[in-house]
Amino acid sequence: MTEKQKIALYVDPPSHHFLKDELFDNTEARSLGEQLHAPYAYLRDFFKARGITVRTADYLPEKANGAKNIYVSMGILSNYRRLSQDRPDIILSAYFAMECPIVEPKMYRALRDAQRYFKRIYTWSDSLSLERFVGEPLRCKSFCWPQSFDEVHESLWQNTERKFLVIINTNRLPRLSWNELYSERRRAVEFFSRTDEIDLYGKGWDAPPIRVGRTRTPYTFRRIQHELQKKWQRIRPDPLLKAAQKVYRGVANSKSETLSQYKFAVCFENSILKGWITEKIFDCFFAGTVPVYWGAPDIENYVPSDCFIDMRRFSGYEELREFLKSMSDKEILEYKENARNFLSSPRFYQFSKAAFAEIFRRIITEDTGIQI
């Protein structure tokens, strides 16, 4: 057995639904834009080519087996204490905080303890920005959300028969209200619904919003509470929900195909937080749709400003509307071309599947002393 064959990587997925190696299965991808497991499939293949086994954490051996077992969690915090006890063969190499702190504040509070066990904590932001959620300085490294694709979906990108404006989001509210943009998305929909100039896609718009994130409140109580909210909505309708339902077009079976039918997309992150850049803006780039972006205040450190329309430039939605309506086809094409060029530039690498795999390669090399 070679030195590399004595190394195994075990990944705890973001949800129990992706155990039994389902995390690495990208064959169920329905269409372009839906290949959410592509970065993990790439990760598995990357290490397989180098003679290293990659599996989900439920396949960790029950006893030491002579191998160096690298454990990495992609958001699960319920297993690390158990694994740290009397198992010198298991190395708690890294924890990746994959969810926004206003969605999962409980997880960030738990990082105070977790950072004393894991060798590394990876986040999209930085310690100073996250300290209000953690409660103390966080020993963390930064990483970027890996994208499933490396270039535009050419056939969709080329589509010129496009409507005006779209937004794709589920009807949810966060646990915390600090710098949240869930409500701002609803206000944007309400404004453009007045002139029927926006189409809304997503789940949950037939009822009042549900708060996301883990909570101690029993499911039965939450279900009853939501039913009461539905009844109250019929008595005193929420004007923002009523406006959203007016322009609601159903669930987008393919995000990319839906985006490609529009010139512009309202592209607001869940929160205004330094470094917090998700797939939303890239989904627009891949489909050839110009994003109206609001989110990470340092977005221009990652994505060139000529690739997107910065919502912060406008005093409100009336001014934004005037700007969008005044844009010529040539100006829109310039934004699209700039985004395409960015995707093929070195600046995009940090968001690539290859960069994601490189983080793991570096982790394993450092923790085993074996060059991968």
Instruction: Grade residue 5 by pLDDT with cuts at 50, 70 and 90.
Output: low
Greatest Cα pair distance, the chain, in angstroms, is 70
- Does residue 4 have a pLDDT over 90? no
Rounded distance between C-alpha atoms, residue 191 and residue 317, angstroms: 7
Q: Which residue has the tokens 């795999």?
A: 357
pLDDT at 32 (0 to 100): 42
Which long-range contacts (C-beta less than 8 Å, at least 24 apart) are formed by 311-317?
Answer: 311/268, 317/187, 317/188, 317/191, 317/192
Do 71 and 60 meet the contact criterion of CB atoms below 8 Å apart?
A: yes
Angle at 136 between CA 215 and CA 144, to 5 degrees: 75
Lowest mean pLDDT among 4-18, 41-55, 130-144, 166-180: 4-18
Token code pair at residue 312: 């912060």
Q: What percent of the chain has pLDDT over 90?
A: 82
Nearest alpha carbon to residue 33 among 200, 193, 148, 189 = 148
Instruction: Grade residue 231 by pLDDT with cuts at 50, 70 and 90.
Output: low
Rounded distance between C-alpha atoms, residue 89 and residue 197, angstroms: 59
Using one digit for the tens of pLDDT, what is the confidence trace for 169-224?
A: 999 989 999 999 999 999 999 999 999 999 999 999 998 888 876 766 666 656 65
pLDDT at 187 (0 to 100): 98
Instruction: Grade residue 31 by pLDDT with cuts at 50, 70 and 90.
Output: very low
- Does residue 322 have a pLDDT over 60? yes
Lowest mean pLDDT among 45-59, 114-128, 215-229, 264-278: 215-229
- Does residue 105 have a pLDDT over 60? yes
User: How far separated are the first and last CA of the chain, in Å rounded?
Assistant: 16
Q: What percent of the chain has pLDDT over 70?
A: 92
- Does residue 263 have a pLDDT over 90? yes
- Does residue 358 have a pLDDT over 70? yes
Q: Which residue has the tokens 């430039």?
A: 313
pLDDT at 30 (0 to 100): 46
- Give start and end residues of each alpha helix (H) in the chain: 38-48, 80-83, 105-114, 127-134, 154-157, 182-193, 219-235, 239-246, 255-259, 280-287, 317-326, 329-343, 353-368
Do 134 and 109 meet the contact criterion of CB atoms below 8 Å apart?
A: yes
Name, in order, each residue with C-beta under 8 angstroms of 330's C-beta and a sequence gap of 6 or more. Answer: none
Instruction: Grade residue 252 by pLDDT with cuts at 50, 70 and 90.
Output: very high
pLDDT at 207 (0 to 100): 87
Stretch 249-277: mean pLDDT: 97
Using one digit for the tens of pLDDT, what is the confidence trace for 17-28?
A: 999 999 999 875
pLDDT at 215 (0 to 100): 66
